Amino acid sequence: MSEHKSTEPSKTTHFGFKTVNEHEKEKLVAGVFHSVAAKYDVMNDLMSFGVHRAWKRYTIEMSGVRTGHRVLDIAGGTGDLSFAFSRRVGPTGKVVLADINESMLKVGRDRLADRGVAGNLDVVQANAEVLPFPDDEFNVVTIAFGLRNVTHKDVALKEMLRVLKPGGRLLVLEFSKPTNDLLSKAYDTYSFKALPVMGKLVTQDADSYQYLAESIRKHPDQDTLQQMMYDAGFERVTYHNLTGGIVALHRGVKA
């Protein structure tokens, strides 16, 4: 009697505009950020003309983080938000900088050490879909420019809800959909023409910034992400468009 072999096809997902097997995406995304980690902050300033700093300041203000809070900064990369949060929570609070990518974490850890951050901050390599933290652990969870790289966004959102304390807040800062047609067309031209050229000049890697432009287009729009957060169990979900909807900040609360 011959052995039965499963004919179930491998599940696929998108990596930018390409279709890949789900198990491949994590490795491909890791390769992107390993390639650009050393110049990540320089490229952020160039790509956004420095405006990403204002987007992050707005996120920090909307978070409501205060002294003694516990904060999880998912996909925290080079540590911009973690640094600001560590100053806000003070010595009685705790900030966890989490990222799936080892290269990004190393850059973040070194930057934070250079800036004198120590006692109230931990650095953890973690997958947003399987967070290594107990239930009801954090007052605030943030994920800035990271959700679009997650394969199963619904799973990750439920994990973020799980680790929040009741009454805790999730803030998702992410590229989104421009609200004006003219701005959208100009943004498309900039994204697909200028970004890969910048990436090649600064990081010797045009492909990673081509992926960046493509991954933004595949990310759910504002209303879709709002509904996804409701579906995951969040309440009072709102969003605020920034820079004409090029970026949006979504905010949800755990009951």
Residues forming the annotated binding site? 78, 99, 127-128
Q: What burial class does residue 243 get, using C-beta atoms within 10 Å of its C-beta: 0-12 exposed, 13-18 middle, 19+ buried? A: middle
Q: Where are the beta strands (DSSP E) in 12-54?
A: 12-15, 18-21
Spatial separation of the C-alpha atoms in residues 57 and 8, rounded to whole Å:
47
CA-based nearest residue to 247, from 134, 171, 138 = 171
What tokens were used for 42?
């320089």
Q: What residues does 122 pair with on adjacent strands? A: 96
- Known binding site for S-adenosyl-L-methionine: residues? 78, 99, 127-128
Sheet bearing 121-125, strands edge to edge: 121-125, 94-99, 70-74, 138-144, 164-175, 247-253, 235-242
Spatial separation of the C-alpha atoms in residues 69 and 45, rounded to whole Å:
29
- The one-letter code for the residue type at 209 is Y
Q: What residues does 171 pair with on adjacent strands? A: 142, 251
Q: What burial class does residue 137 get, using C-beta atoms within 10 Å of its C-beta: 0-12 exposed, 13-18 middle, 19+ buried? A: middle
Sign of CA dihedral 242, 28, 16, 163: negative
Q: Where are the beta strands (DSSP E) in 30-93?
A: 70-74
